[in-house]
Structure 1
């Protein structure tokens, strides 16, 4: 039949705990699922043509992992409350019009992904899932985050990308365990709550918003590895950025930056620095202290000259300088330089 049973049984008596029917073109759940309902723990049904979930599926009460992403399912039915052992539920890329309150009964749920469904609002049931560690609501048409999101204090990952958010509730400060926060492609104008209270963040994505400044409270984000603030309206970066000593990827492209603070030289672990399409006329001399820098993109700025030390950054493999006003290149050897339209 072309379907794969992932358990790879060693004998006919061995219990089937995992089944994979992903991308098989099926429109109904296979009988094998029901036949193994007493022992089934992991079920992949993503990438098919399912329009609904039959009541029999919810007899698999030992299910820990259920992935039904990329189907045509319109609703999470009330019977979902029977899957009391479920830890991971992936329902992204369907045509959900709502989520039944029975979802709140899944007290062991740690991962929930409802991305790419036209929900319009954050389902109330989610706020009862206090053991959630990862919540993904990307591209769901939501325009606000409930004030009681602070109840989800175990969250490590929160993804709210590509929505209509204009602000984040103050209660988001209570999510002190967050390690990854993605609020890119919204309508946010500031992130004060985030910067003041999320010292455990290692990844912060705020690109594609209307942010005009970064609070000096960014000093608290000392564990950041990745930060993307491209496609905003930033005209300056506070000197407190110098506290981000662990950061490896810093993206500030497509803003209105006319200068960088000298403190950028403190980012000794930085490997990628993207500054294209700003208004930079010069760079601070301290940029030559970025000894681990491998890629520097300065395309489409107003640079007249570069510090001579840039050419001596030993790990710098890519330097993009096109669309500037440079009269000469810095001395030194760089493996790959893009300099068209100087």
Structure 2
């Protein structure tokens, strides 16, 4: 470890950690980065700066547990520990009352502790690629949360009062086992992006009709049995810039859907069609609304979707 000698008080940002042999005034360490260092535990040097440390990066190591001393760093605002070997998130995380961003993706964490609710400043949580099967009720008390990423987990349902997270703008729940959404989600008035791809929905959840500011919706690779109807059209009309309706159905059904939704008598005239590797793209214009264009995508593996764009 490199030894730094300091004679004035200043802020240190970077990977270098000064050892305790320096002379002069106290160091103010706010950011430490130990990413890709083949660590098996959190370095003890971290605890020397528990009063001033605001960001800690431990990405891509082999850390199996977080020591209690880490949670004495109460000034910590960002904790990044993706791609490690964590099996749990200790209850002592409740001490990090100033934490704003938490990244525990690509670990083996099975659940959030109930007292995660004490981290009331959290705005971003990235917990994708963990075997998390459910969220505790306390999770819905994180009222400042704006972005939540829980892709590739084991979620089968969301808490009934999930709608309390009213500040959510981005919600990604791709590759889970969800079949329904709680009715309280109509309260997510600021939600703009919702990714529900690769789940087990057999129909589009009715609650989507009530999310007023939704701009982007992904429903690809589900088990949709019914093509969008009146409820879905209402959702489409509410979206301001982009509506994405991926469907698992046969091309004939999609052609019929396009005919019935975009024209009463004839198929929409293609404005352009072209091939890409593994993709066939078909674009056209809604004859009822010339400002609305659609894009039909057929992927070789059988995944198909309709994208409607308001220009």
Taking structure 2 as the reference length, the TM-score comes to 0.74
Q: Is the 8 A contact 2:106 2:130 kept in 1?
A: yes
Q: Which residue of 1 aligns with 2:268?
A: 284
Using the TM superposition, give the Cα deviation of residue 32 of structure 1 relative to its aligned residue in structure 2, in angstroms. 2.8
Q: Is the 8 A contact 2:104 2:126 kept in 1?
A: yes
Q: Which one has a larger percent strand, Structure 1 or Structure 2?
A: 2
Q: Which residue of 2 aligns with 1:91?
A: 104
Q: How many residues align?
A: 266
Q: Which residue of 2 aligns with 1:257?
A: 254
Separation in structure 1 between the aligned mates of residue 35 and residue 74 of structure 2, nearest angstrom: 21
1:227 aligns with 2:211: no
- Report the CA distance shift for 1:299/1:17 in structure 2 as closer, same or farther (over 3 A): closer
Separation in structure 2 between the aligned mates of residue 262 and residue 296 of structure 1, nearest angstrom: 25
Q: Give CA deviations for 1:9-56 in whole Å, capped at 9, x if unaligned.
A: 9x9765221111112111111233112211110111111100000111
Using the TM superposition, give the Cα deviation of residue 61 of structure 1 relative to its aligned residue in structure 2, in angstroms. 0.3
Separation in structure 2 between the aligned mates of residue 60 and residue 154 of structure 1, nearest angstrom: 27
Separation in structure 2 between the aligned mates of residue 7 and residue 24 of structure 1, nearest angstrom: 11
Separation in structure 2 between the aligned mates of residue 98 and residue 5 of structure 1, nearest angstrom: 32
Q: Which residue of 1 aligns with 2:58?
A: 45
1:213 aligns with 2:210: no
Using the TM superposition, give the Cα deviation of residue 299 of structure 1 relative to its aligned residue in structure 2, in angstroms. 5.7
Using the TM superposition, give the Cα deviation of residue 262 of structure 1 relative to its aligned residue in structure 2, in angstroms. 8.4
Using the TM superposition, give the Cα deviation of residue 58 of structure 1 relative to its aligned residue in structure 2, in angstroms. 0.7
- Report the CA distance shift for 1:114/1:135 in structure 2 as closer, same or farther (over 3 A): same
How do residues 1-342 of structure 1 correspond to structure 2 at under 5 angstroms?
1=1, 6=14, 15-211=28-224, 212-214=226-228, 215-225=232-242, 227=244, 229-230=246-247, 232-233=248-249, 256-259=253-256, 260-261=258-259, 284-285=268-269, 287-288=270-271
- Report the CA distance shift for 1:26/1:223 in structure 2 as closer, same or farther (over 3 A): same
Q: Which residue of 2 aligns with 1:243?
A: none
Using the TM superposition, give the Cα deviation of residue 263 of structure 1 relative to its aligned residue in structure 2, in angstroms. 7.0
- Report the CA distance shift for 1:120/1:300 in structure 2 as closer, same or farther (over 3 A): same
Using the TM superposition, give the Cα deviation of residue 7 of structure 1 relative to its aligned residue in structure 2, in angstroms. 7.7
Taking structure 1 as the reference length, the TM-score comes to 0.68
Q: Is the 8 A contact 1:199 1:223 kept in 2?
A: no
Q: Which residue of 2 aligns with 1:339?
A: none
Larger RCO (alpha carbons 8 Å, 6+ apart): 2
Q: Give CA deviations for 1:36-90 in whole Å, capped at 9, x if unaligned.
A: 2111101111111000001111111000000111111111112111100001111
Using the TM superposition, give the Cα deviation of residue 174 of structure 1 relative to its aligned residue in structure 2, in angstroms. 1.2
Q: Is the 8 A contact 1:196 1:217 kept in 2?
A: yes
SS at structure 2 position matched to 1:217: helix
SS at structure 2 position matched to 1:17: strand
SS at structure 1 position matched to 2:235: helix
What's the RMSD between the two structures over aligned residues?
3.5
Separation in structure 1 between the aligned mates of residue 75 and residue 135 of structure 2, nearest angstrom: 27
Separation in structure 2 between the aligned mates of residue 26 and residue 127 of structure 1, nearest angstrom: 33
Q: Which residue of 2 aligns with 1:251?
A: none
Separation in structure 1 between the aligned mates of residue 174 and residue 121 of structure 2, nearest angstrom: 25
SS at structure 2 position matched to 1:16: strand
Separation in structure 1 between the aligned mates of residue 273 and residue 29 of structure 2, nearest angstrom: 48
